[in-house]
Amino acid sequence: MSPRKIIIDTDPGQDDAVAILLALASPQEIDLLGITCVAGNVPLELTSKNARIICELAGKTDVPVYAGCDRPMGRELVTAEHVHGRTGLDGPDLPDPQMPLSDGHAVDFIIDTLRTQPAGSVTLCPIGPLTNIATAFNKAPDIVEKVHEIVLMGGAYFEVGNVTPTAEFNIYVDPQAADIVFTSGVPIVAMPLDVTHQVLVTKPRNKALRALATPVGTAVAQMTDFFERYDREKYGSEGAPLHDPCVIAYLIQPDLFSGRHINVEIETTSELTMGMTVADWWGVTDRKANATFIGGVDSQGFFDLLTERLARL
Ligand code: RIB
Ligand code: CA
């Protein structure tokens, strides 16, 4: 089977970094057309720098990296340095990138790619706030029907919020953009906190990453050692949740995951519940299903896949 053409839209962030590395390590399954960066965990200047740092760590400097939107569509930017550190990639000491940003805006790269690739051949993989994706859909409505699928990290139902009592960070930062994406009609697979909180980098798993004894394995172990602090303190978790790599692992081995095709709507009005993903998991409304909402994962199978693939870099 030919590799799936994807664009990763990202706000690195340690977990974004692991997702990018997993994609770069899996060329048989994934043809990474480009990386588009958005403001989120840290400001755009840092997310677009961090994406290049990760490409160079993997030795894959031929992947174009674009800078995109530096703020949400209709709200002030909220960042997460308290989780990811000042740089967004705290943990390892990685050199500044030598590879340049690609010319042009990330939104135009998304539009141009969808207009030039065969219709229905490109999957969008947003793992940060959805600002770039929604802006592209607004600027070029003709591309919406050309998207094969959107596989994203965002939202929560049973796990409720991680940035407010009701909202997950990616959706909360730009709820207007999320509403545009979830009402676009494009087939969506959503990886909410309900599943990402099941894939924790426990001490044995961190040890297995260090045991790779490669620059990638060591850097990922150092990233997750740093990144786990927030979830350990807040949730008593046994390690860092690898939110974003769930998106890439799904593309490679979908049978690791399970979920339901349900209606998901985004709160964009009430400040009390702003950014909440109102997921009709129990089918109590007649609202049309618009997303496959993932709730289960074989977490050890996920880590076995991740570790085996990272060993290839
Ligand atoms: O809530 C988790 C999400 O927010 C992840 O994508 C993480 O990188 C941050 O962007
Ligand atoms: Ca992210």
> Which domains does the chain possess?
4-310 (3.90.245.10)
Alpha carbons 243 and 40: distance in angstroms, whole number: 14
pLDDT of residue 229 exceeding 90 = no
Rounded to the nearest angstrom, the distance between the alpha carbon of 118 and the centre of ligand 1 is 30
259-283: b (≥16 Cβ within 10 Å) or e = bbebbbbbbbeeeebbbbbebbeee
Which ligand is the nearest neighbour of the Cα of 8? 2
Q: Which amino acid is at 300?
A: Q
Decide: 14 and 223 in contact? Cβ < 8 Å: yes
Alpha carbons 291 and 128: distance in angstroms, whole number: 17
For a substitution probing ligand 1, which of 89, 130, 244, 277 has the most ligand atoms within 8 Å of its CB? Answer: 244
What integer pLDDT is reported at residue 242 of this predicted model?
Answer: 97
Two tokens, residue 104: 């042009």
Alpha carbons 143 and 140: distance in angstroms, whole number: 6
Alpha carbons 256 and 299: distance in angstroms, whole number: 8
What integer pLDDT is reported at residue 37 of this predicted model?
Answer: 98
Percentage of the chain exceeding pLDDT 70: 100
**Any idea what DSSP says for residue 87?**
S
pLDDT of residue 96 exceeding 90 = yes
Residues contacting ligand 1 via CB (< 6 Å): 11, 13, 15-16, 40-41, 127-128, 153, 162, 168-170, 243-244
What integer pLDDT is reported at residue 122 of this predicted model?
Answer: 98
Pairing of strands 147-153, 30-37: unpaired
pLDDT of residue 232 exceeding 90 = no
Mean per-residue pLDDT, 186-209: 97
Q: How many CB atoms lie within 10 A of CB 197?
A: 18
Report which of 306, 294, 297, 303 is spatially closest to residue 153, judged by C-alpha positions: 294
Decide: 292 and 259 in contact? Cβ < 8 Å: yes
pLDDT of residue 231 exceeding 90 = no
pLDDT of residue 249 exceeding 90 = yes
Active site positions, annotated: 243
For a substitution probing ligand 1, which of 22, 37, 41 has the most ligand atoms within 8 Å of its CB? Answer: 41
Confidence of residue 69 (pLDDT cuts 50, 70, 90): very high
pLDDT of residue 233 exceeding 90 = no
Mean per-residue pLDDT, 232-257: 94
